[in-house]
Amino acid sequence: MSAIDSLFQQLRSTGRKALMPFVTAGDPDLDFTAEVIRQVVARGSHLCELGIPYSDPIADGPVIQASYTRALDKGVKLAAILEMLGRLTPEVPAPIVTMVSYAIIYRHGLEQYVAAAKAAGVAGAIVPDLPVEEAGPLAAICRREDFGLIQLVTPTTPRDRALRIVEQATGFVYYVSVTGITGERTELPPEIVDNVAWLRSRTQLPICIGFGISRPEHVRMLAPVADGLIVGSAIVRRISEAATRPREQVLREIGDYVAELLAATETATGG
């Protein structure tokens, strides 16, 4: 059983829901990335999603795109990210998954990427640009290596295709809450609840919802139907302030924000 499987089994047994912050690797630098991960886990986050910067990101809004650009402009490379994670993961009691383009995995080599990521303590990969029709080879490697291959289902995914996606996925399913790109929203579409309920009836995998989640009321709305909630742009925007403000202050504010969202999950689930 993988670290992701063990975590969700434990959370389900207690009726609790996972909070998963998203952090861009190397923005503003890898040392601060590690500090942010330590902070959000210390404040109660259950998993972390680490974005591997890519010059042509898929479905990312302006906040995350800008963070990728800043990291790439500073020369952040995959090898350095994995080296940082190799030092960090032994001290962080939460699984870390990478959000990584399939182009990066393919260029690195499928077997080689999974081996290098596992050696660095990574528990899985979210691969947003991997079509289900081409996922077989990587899915087979990930199943063999007990490494999560997290794939996305969107509001516009035909239901027959969604079923094929969840059959290939391991770890959890990433349900995209809105049509379009990542970014903070004031409101989320109410049909999310019904869509996720349908998907839950078709798979035993945990379902984590991402895109647009930024407020406690979003968490309270979605926690009853989700196994986990992913928060990205709202955290990346706060991290960007580290370039012009004291880092310790920014870290504390990120921690306070995460604690506020975690409190909302407890309220929503009666914890």
176-210 per-position pLDDT tens digit:
876 544 444 445 556 788 888 899 999 999 999 98
Delineate the domains of the chain, giving CATH numbers in brackets.
3-269 (3.20.20.70)
Predicted pLDDT of residue 185 = 42
In angstroms, the CA 139 to CA 133 distance is 11
Question: What is the pTM for the complete model shown?
Answer: 0.92
Strands 18-24 and 48-51: parallel
Residue 60 catalytic? Answer: yes
Report the alpha-carbon distance of residue 101 to residue 26 in Å, rounded: 16
Question: Which tens digits make up the pLDDT trace of 197-206?
Answer: 899 999 999 9
pLDDT reported for residue 267: 72
Exactly one of 5, 27, 60, 184 is catalytic; name it: 60
Report pLDDT for 24. Answer: 96
Assess contact for 231 and 261: CB atoms under 8 A.
yes
User: Is the N-terminal amide bond of 190 cis, ω within 30° of 0?
Assistant: no
Q: Which of 49, 111, 187, 191 is catalytic?
A: 49
**In Å, how far are 85, 103, 115, 176 from 25, measured between CA atoms?**
10, 17, 19, 22
